[in-house]
Amino acid sequence: MKRNKLGNTDIYVTPIGLGVLTIGNTQLDLPLEEGAEVVRYAYEKGINLFDTAQYYETYPYIREAFKDVDMSYDNPDRPIIASKSLDHTYEEMEAAIHECLDALGIDRIDIFKMHEVRQEPDWSDRAGAWQCLIDYKKKGIVGAIGVSTHHVDITEMMADIPECDIVFPLINYAGLGIRKGAGPGTAEEMEAAIRKCLDAGKGVFAMKAFGGGNLTGTYMKSLNYVRDLGCHSIMIGMGNKGEIDDIVRYAEGELPEDYQPETRNKKIHIDQGDCESCYACIERCPNKAIYVNDEGRADVNYDVCLTCGYCAPVCPVRAIIMW
């Protein structure tokens, strides 16, 4: 599989990356060996970019998957690992970096980012964490630094931050989950922000091309849209070998334009860690299948859920996913 240079960095990545969140305890919750086998299979099929996070608790899968792989920087075929942290202070971010290195059994990580940066004042409030990333890049412990974000304004801002190497924005043709300030953003606005980052030499890999699984019914359209924006890689959450085979065939130009994966067994899920209890989904659901659970968060009654997906576009934090 070909590799793309990540902006002005010296990192080269495949046009598809594996989002390791899917195999973890908030989604498929695969046993360690089974989940590690999925990660390793993706690597053996040619995928070299793997995205995780402190919050995902998926480091053990990655360590197990690559326990016999030469992870040194002298190996051009090593897996490229990207992680991130939600922390705000210098000390918290420093601890998150060392937690990652220790858990993965490595002494240097290719990419580390601030996780899910929102509109001001979130960026300013996390100045300590950002300074830590800058310092650890100077030390050579982190190869490249950046942010992940669902926000148009933060994506646009990163184009003008010289220390930022990597931007990991949410983008899909339907605009699911895109934010701008305190309200929703559009796909067109995020497109413009991404192009600004690309023009500024930032490495850009995109998340949620399938809108958290809600757009898998338009598989080729979803992937082609993000690919044609010029993103260096598209991060896809995959939980089995069949999904990996499909995406590798796509990356190598072997899937027909009318290809459509089987989606009849997919279900709507509400990520309890992301739900902010706004209940917009409850108001939108045409079949009254979403309710407030004992923790005060939205949840799904599968006895009446139609899997229509009408709820997903109104969720402000992209907590509604389908798998």
Q: Do the beta carbons of residue 109 and residue 100 sit within 8 Å?
A: yes
Q: Which of 26-30, 58-62, 111-115 has the lowest mean pLDDT?
A: 26-30
Does pLDDT of 323 surpass 80?
no
* 49 φ/ψ angles, rounded to the nearest 5 degrees: -110, 125
The domain tally of the chain equals 2
Same domain, 247 and 273: no
**pLDDT for position 306:** 72
257 occurs within a structural domain: no
In a domain, 289, yes or no: yes
Q: How confident is the model at residue 159 (pLDDT cuts 50, 70, 90)?
A: very high
Return the pLDDT at 286: 78
Q: Are residues 60 and 162 in the same domain?
A: yes
Q: What is the pLDDT of residue 26?
A: 81
Q: Given this model, what pLDDT does residue 261 score? A: 87
Query: What integer pLDDT is reported at residue 157 of this predicted model?
Result: 97
pLDDT of residue 74: 87
Same domain, 278 and 171: no
- Asked if the structure places residue 177 within a domain, the reply is yes
Residue 318: pLDDT band by 50, 70, 90 thresholds?
Answer: confident
Clarify whether residues 203 and 287 are in a common domain. no
Do 227 and 284 belong together in one domain?
no
Based on the domain organization, do 283 and 202 belong to the same domain?
no
**Whether the predicted model's global pTM rises above the 0.75 cut:** yes
29 found inside a domain: yes
Same domain, 191 and 124: yes
Same domain (yes/no): 236, 281? no
For 286, the domain range is: 268-322
What is the predicted pLDDT for the residue at 113? 98
Same domain, 150 and 283: no
If you average pLDDT over residues 118-131, what whole number do you get? 95
Are residues 193 and 299 both part of a single domain?
A: no
In degrees and rounded to multiples of 5, residue 171 shows phi and psi of -155, 135
The tens digit of pLDDT for each residue in 244-290 reads 999 999 999 999 999 998 877 778 899 898 899 999 999 999 789 99
Give the Å distances, CA to CA, from 9 to 52, 169, 274.
20, 18, 31
Which among 222, 251, 280 is the end of a domain?
Answer: 251
How many other C-beta atoms are found inside a 10 Å radius of the C-beta of residue 304?
A: 12
Q: What is the pLDDT of residues 38-87, one digit of tens each?
A: 999 999 999 999 999 999 999 999 999 999 999 998 899 999 999 999 99
Whole-angstrom Cα distance, residue 260 to residue 256?
9
Tell me whether residue 83 is in a domain. Answer: yes
Residue 11 to residues 77, 164, 208: CA-CA distances in angstroms? 11, 14, 22
Q: Which residues contact 134 (CB under 8 A, 6 or more apart)?
A: 145, 163
Provide the CATH number for the domain around residue 236.
Answer: 3.20.20.100
Band of the pLDDT at 307, cuts 50, 70, 90? Answer: confident
Asked if residue 281 and residue 194 are part of one domain, the reply reads: no
Backbone angles phi, psi at 262, to 5 degrees: -70, 125
Please report, for the domain that includes residue 301, its CATH number: 3.30.70.20
On whether residue 110 sits in a domain, the answer given is: yes
**Residues 229, 286: one domain?**
no
- Per-residue confidence (pLDDT) for residue 267, from 0 to 100: 86
Q: Are 53 and 81 in contact (CB under 8 A)?
A: no
Whether 239 is covered by a domain: the verdict is: yes
Q: Quote the DSSP letter at residue 189.
A: H
